[in-house]
Chains A and B, each alone.
Chain A
Amino acid sequence: MAEDKRSQPVMDKVWNFFTSLKLAISVLIIMAVASIFGTIVEQNQPIEKYRQFYSDATIRMLDALNLFDMYHAWWFLLLLVLFTVNLSCCTLDRLPRVLKVVRNPKTTLDDNLEKSLGLVGRWKKKGSLDAWADPYAAAMGKIVGKPVVTRDGETVHLYAERGVVSRFGVYVTHLSIIVIFIGAIVGNLFGFKGFVNIVEGQTIRQVATPSGTRSMDLDFAVRCNKFSLTFYTDEHGHQTQQPKEYASDLSVLENGREVLRKKIVVNDPLQYKGIWFYQSSYGQAGSASAQVAVLDAAGAPVTTLLLYAGQPVEIPGYGSVTGIDYQPNYQGLGPALLVSLEKPGQPPAQFWLLQNRPDFDRQRKDRYSFAFGGLSQAFYTGLQVAKDPGVNVVWVGCTLMVIGIIIAFFMSHQRLWIRMAPLADGRVEVVLAGSASKNRLAFEKRFEKIQEDLKAVGV
């Protein structure tokens, strides 16, 4: 660092740039600030929507800056690349040094080291060096860990450490970010996102891409057996308008044979061959139909009709029936269907059929009577479809990240040295020194305590 900057080779300058913490902090802050824009400008909306909020000039400017799809813009990706390069360079730059320190710890306390350490204590003990070396080694073993003993002429050095792993927490965290990015890239390259609507009873073999422009073939088929929507009930047991569950009963078919069947709900998807299907939306497919049973004079069923609004259905040799209106609660009598019956040579007759009173229509005393069985509505289920082979890599990265952060913040590399040398007056001088990589305030207190304990050894 002290050398003249002009004499630095270019590569060194580049390296210093990418390994500098200033860059790291700047990139973190720039990414934070840049990310704000994408939350203010709604992303990936149709142009008409932007026209409601912005003038044409503003739209042109925002578009030029890629702010409508900011998180995929080249400049944002460049920022992510810079972030990754910086992260990797910092790690490559510092990790070897840390490894060196960890592999070859300084096991003797010389004057230089002593001066560099903030926590130093010294005292004297009566007796010979040999008499004290072992008790101190044993005491240190109890406090921190078994010490390395170095005898250098008339001086004995003891060194012990713990929490070495804490030195690596930060690198585990950095690595985890790279792992997450790798997972994301794998997902982007080899996975896909799609969407499909399936009408009840129908089978699909293709899903659409989110933009809806392309479709993708699946190598199996999916059938929606049934979609159901349930609502919460209030304290009186009546149904409310608050949806409780959206559920699709799905079957996976291979060569026309069902190989898997599952009822999926929001938060409980179906997975087959690495492709996931998520309950996402629903809607009405086509118009509703009314079920009407045709009964003979004795009340025995003859046939069942499906009536669509306004479309007449012929009963051979009798007449044609048309569904006209439906009321969920007709005059307090429950669901009812208004039908029109047209017999050859007669004016059409309109009358109500009550779902709760199947025999109600027998009062017409005709050859046939009708019983309304209820309205049925076909639904389609909207499924989000995703395949992401990188997702497990992402979870590995996330786990590493949490582990790395915990190691980095809550563990500390604590080192303790003792140097013992005989004095001219026949006593032994003991010098204790310590350092901690983190949480120094707490270690200061601990050091005081250690010093008290060690002074008391043999007393």
Chain B
Amino acid sequence: MMNVRLFDLTTLLFGVASVNYVAALYGKKDTLARVGTWICIAAAIVSTAAIGVRWAESYKMGIGRIPVTNLYESLVFFAWSVNLFYLFVEWKYRNRAFGAFVMPIAFLTMLFAFTNESSIQPLVPALQSYWLHAHVITCFVGYAAFAVSAGVAVMYLLKARQEESKTVGGVVGFFPSSKILDDLVYKSIIWGFPFLTAGIITGAAWANYAWGTYWSWDPKETWSLIVWLVYAAFLHARITRGWHGKRAAILSIVGFLATIMCYLGVNLVLSGLHSYGGT
């Protein structure tokens, strides 16, 4: 299928971009990073086209539906979101060091997608609903924001260690100041949190419409609540108790681990109503 070829190309572009960003940090060559940006933009165009083509191809097969309904599709959609969110952050903060920490997440996601069944399957009756669009899109924008936050949190921890030891230079020397990184860890989360909230709510509304119960403590629901609670704790600690720096960064990383568990772990490890994404 055409769309899968395009996604393969996207994987390649994400890989090259990641290598560029990492090499730019180590080789201290900004040109490489600038090339990385253009590759990311190209990847954004190719992957957006791929999603569109896949959507169109599903219509041609007579099962037309938004391509976010199995593990392969959700992984590529996640990588697509991460890439776009990253480009936004890079543009907004005019710093390309983030790329070395965020783009590998998109690349690894695509590699994982690569190992999954990529054919277009018709939609089971339970997923035939307009809520699908709102639910999946809000959740994944949230996940992407949390991914960026965790990537930046790792950068923060490295940068803070360097600043503490009063050394300069090295790869970490190219990072933005720890103050900016710390702020970005927070900023990404305040974008992710409302989207996750909306994702949980649209999921509840949909569940109510499909099963007559908006909340049934199914593992997926519960894990989304766990993720929500962790970030709620982060925000309270940050805003009212002034948790900055290291503790906030670690909490952001913990939050993203919970997000991965919610997104993939539940389907691959646990069982429940929400098993669609796992196949």
Which residue numbers of A lie inside 8 Å of B, CB to CB? 21-22, 24-25, 28-29, 31-32, 35-36, 38-40, 42-43, 71, 184, 193, 232-233, 235, 242-246, 265-267, 269, 276, 278-280, 384-386, 388, 391, 394-395, 398, 401-402, 405-406, 409-410, 441
Contacts and interface: CB of A to CB of B under 8 A. Distances in A.
Contact of A409 (B61, B194, B210, B222): B194
Nearest to A33: B226
A25 B241 contact: yes
A72 B229 CA distance: 19
B13 to A, nearest CB: 31
Nearest to A76: B217
A32 to B, nearest CB: 4
B45 interface: no
A291 to B, nearest CB: 29
A71 B210 contact: no
Contacts, number: 112
Nearest to B179: A441
B194 A266 contact: no
A21 B241 contact: yes
B252 to A, nearest CB: 14
Contacts of B275: none
A157 to B, nearest CB: 30
A402 B210 CA distance: 23
B230 to A, nearest CB: 5
B242 to A, nearest CB: 10
Contacts of A31: 229
Interface string B202-241: 0011101111111101010011011001101100110011
Contacts of B198: 402
A232 B270 CA distance: 29
A22 B241 CA distance: 9
Interface stretch (B73-81, B106-114, B123-131): B123-131
A39 B222 contact: yes
A21 B234 CA distance: 12
B233 A28 contact: yes
Interface of B: 61-63, 121-122, 124-126, 128-129, 131, 183, 190, 193-194, 197-198, 201, 204-206, 208-215, 217, 219, 222-223, 225-226, 229-230, 232-233, 236-237, 240-241, 258, 266, 270-271
A276 B209 CA distance: 9
Given A25-B237, A25-B241, A384 B211 contact: yes
A398 B122 contact: no
19 contacts: A28-B232, A29-B233, A31-B229, A36-B226, A43-B217, A71-B222, A184-B215, A235-B61, A242-B121, A242-B122, A244-B122, A267-B125, A267-B128, A386-B212, A386-B213, A391-B208, A394-B204, A401-B197, A401-B201
Given A235-B61, A246-B125, A278-B210, 5 more contacts: A28-B229, A267-B125, A267-B131, A267-B210, A269-B209
B228 to A, nearest CB: 9
Contact of A266 (B126, B131, B219, B232): B126
B222 A38 contact: yes
Nearest to A176: B197
Among all A-B residue pairs, the 6 with the closest Cβ atoms: A386-B212, A32-B229, A28-B233, A266-B125, A39-B219, A267-B129
Contacts of A36: 226
A323 to B, nearest CB: 33
Contacts of B271: 42
B212 A266 contact: no
Nearest to B230: A32
A395 B125 CA distance: 25
Contact of B205 (A244, A386, A395): A395
A39 B128 contact: no
Contact of B217 (A38, A280, A386): A38
A410 B189 CA distance: 12
Contacts of A385: 212
Contacts of A235: 61
A276 B211 CA distance: 10
Contacts of A24: 236
Contacts of B205: 395, 398
A66 B128 CA distance: 36
A42 B219 CA distance: 9
B233 A32 contact: yes
